[in-house]
Amino acid sequence: MSSNATALSRWTLTAYGLPAFAFAMLLLPPYVLLPVFYSQNMGLALNLVGYVVVACRVFDAFTDPIIGFLSDRTRSRFGRRKIWIATAVPFTIFTVLMLFVPPAQTDITWFAVGMAGLTLAWTMLLLPYSAWGAELSSDYNTRTTIVGVREGLGLAGTLVVVSIPAAMTGFGITDPRLHMNAVGYTIVAAIVITVAVALMSVPDAERASPGAQAPSFRLREIFANKPFVRLLAAYLVNSFANSLPATLFILFVGHVLGLPDMYGPLLLAYFLSAMLAIPAWLVVSRVIGKHRTWCTSMILASAIFSLTPFVVSPSELYPFLIITILTGIAAGADFAIPSSIQADVIDLDTLNTGQNRAGVFFAIWGVVTKMSFALAALSFPLLEAQGFNASALDASGKSGNSPEALMLLTALYAMVPVGLKAIALMLVWSFPLGRAEQAAIREQIEARQASAG
């Protein structure tokens, strides 16, 4: 496919974005729903569950670069990205069913094997898929549109997956095991349908120039890309800031807010707000640029999060609902903007090396994303060390945990993220690669490709 922005029809954009609807269903549950489910309902120790999540992220640190590198170098009649996605689908289905439809009696080994398998399968899906999107267009603003469509559909998938337990509870089905079963079957169906549409409708979009070098994996070259290093550092810190409240959301709603049955509707409000805000953030980015738009969203999120300890009271839903909606609006930019900037820094690498290594770059990006969730999962052992018990909720929703344990939960949920976002903001504010710089880089790349041709 041509990299010209005008070559992307609405159907191409939609068809490419559809798998994100399914893939996003795999982002939240393993780190938000499943750890709490396996600790509260399957009887596993919360600290062991947290260690498994961290270990899987360490495992990712090895598998992500390998898969990204192999994806860059793959050559087949189906292209280099689509073949990986198609191969990963059966493996993903197996591991999803293993985790979401577990036997009645299970142990930490089952959870660990399932999480490790899902980690690898999700990497095989997401890394080639993300690189595929970065290669669909070379235009600064169109790349943001591609990511916006993808992340908007991804948020729609997240909305569906978090609404399933709430909807089932509304119909009188309160068994958490049935909730997880329904989530698992929904994920499987969504993956099969959306991936089939994308693979049949969207070309592989390979952009290898005449005489281009085979992609290599030299970390020294990759990390010589200073804008990439700066972006990566900011993304890690900001992702950690977002992962903490995401990981602790169910525990905070249950034990601090005292409304454990409301976590589903509140998650729904958060992701719906983020999804609806994405088009507005895209408009803002066209006016003030991508990195300043991202900074604006981090300032908004920090201002709102800082109010949480002062306005949230037990059994008072509406103040926390307002905070949830406003932080969801801010998160819309987090979903749409950083990955679009990532495509721009890959262009700089292509200019400097003559290689198209989108798979490797998104592999490193993926490691950082999952590392942020791993760091957030360390909050579980910290809470347990303070004596926090995830199961200490009575029938009325009153927590049996000590004030000190609840204070630590509140600090990890609301205050630590504010400090982290301040660090990310300083890294992003003067980011050196904007619209004009990216356009100049693309002109040089295309001139070199024309002369080589």
Which single residue is written with the structure tokens 């998160």?
Answer: 331
Q: Does residue 211 lie within any of the structural domains?
A: no
Distance between CA 201 and CA 203 in Å, rounded?
Answer: 7
Q: Residue 4 above 50 pLDDT?
A: no
Beta-carbon neighbour count of residue 131 at 10 Å? 27
pLDDT digits 0-9 by tens, 259-271: 887 877 888 888 8
- Supply the CATH number for residue 134's domain: 1.20.1250.20
Structural tokens at position 223: 């990390």
The residue among 82, 68, 23 whose CA lies nearest residue 201 is: 82
Distance between CA 285 and CA 149 in Å, rounded?
Answer: 15
Q: Does residue 209 lie within any of the structural domains?
A: no
Tell me the CA distances in angstroms from 305 to 96, 234, 240, 268, 313, one per residue in order.
33, 19, 14, 18, 15
Q: Does residue 146 lie within any of the structural domains?
A: yes
Q: State the first-to-last Cα distance of the chain, in angstroms, to the nearest integer.
A: 17
Distance between CA 169 and CA 162 in Å, rounded?
Answer: 12
Distance between CA 100 and CA 221 in Å, rounded?
Answer: 41
Distance between CA 139 and CA 45 in Å, rounded?
Answer: 49
Q: Does residue 347 lie within any of the structural domains?
A: yes
Q: What is the pLDDT of residue 342?
A: 84
Region of poorest pLDDT, from 127-136, 163-172, 206-215, 282-291: 206-215
The per-residue pLDDT of the chain, averaged, comes to: 85
pLDDT cut 90: percent of the chain above it: 33
Q: Does residue 29 lie within any of the structural domains?
A: yes
The residue among 31, 63, 148, 149 whose CA lies nearest residue 366 is: 63
Q: Which DSSP state fits 155?
A: H
Q: Is 175 buried (19+), middle (13-18) or exposed (0-12) by CB count in 10 A? A: exposed
Region of poorest pLDDT, from 17-21, 391-395, 429-433: 391-395
Give yes or no for a contact between 27 and 158, defined as CB atoms under 8 angstroms apart.
yes
Give yes or no for a contact between 429 and 289, defined as CB atoms under 8 angstroms apart.
no
pLDDT digits 0-9 by tens, 87-140: 999 999 999 999 999 988 888 999 999 999 998 998 899 888 988 887 787 777
Q: Does residue 395 lie within any of the structural domains?
A: no
The residue among 160, 149, 207 whose CA lies nearest residue 357 is: 207
**156 CB contacts (<8 Å, ≥6 apart)?**
21, 24, 275
When pLDDT is averaged across residues 294-301 and rounded to a whole number, the result is: 96
Give yes or no for a contact between 215 and 221, defined as CB atoms under 8 angstroms apart.
no
Q: Does residue 112 lie within any of the structural domains?
A: yes
- The helices-and-strands tally (H runs, E runs) of the chain is 18, 0
Specify the number of domains making up the chain: 1
Q: What is the pTM of this model?
A: 0.73
Q: Does residue 280 lie within any of the structural domains?
A: yes
**310 CB contacts (<8 Å, ≥6 apart)?**
none
Q: Report phi then psi at 173, rounded to 5.
A: -100, 100
Helix (H, G, I), strand (E, B) or coil at 399: strand
Residue range(s) defining the domain that contains residue 327: 5-204+216-388+401-452
Distance between CA 324 and CA 315 in Å, rounded?
Answer: 15
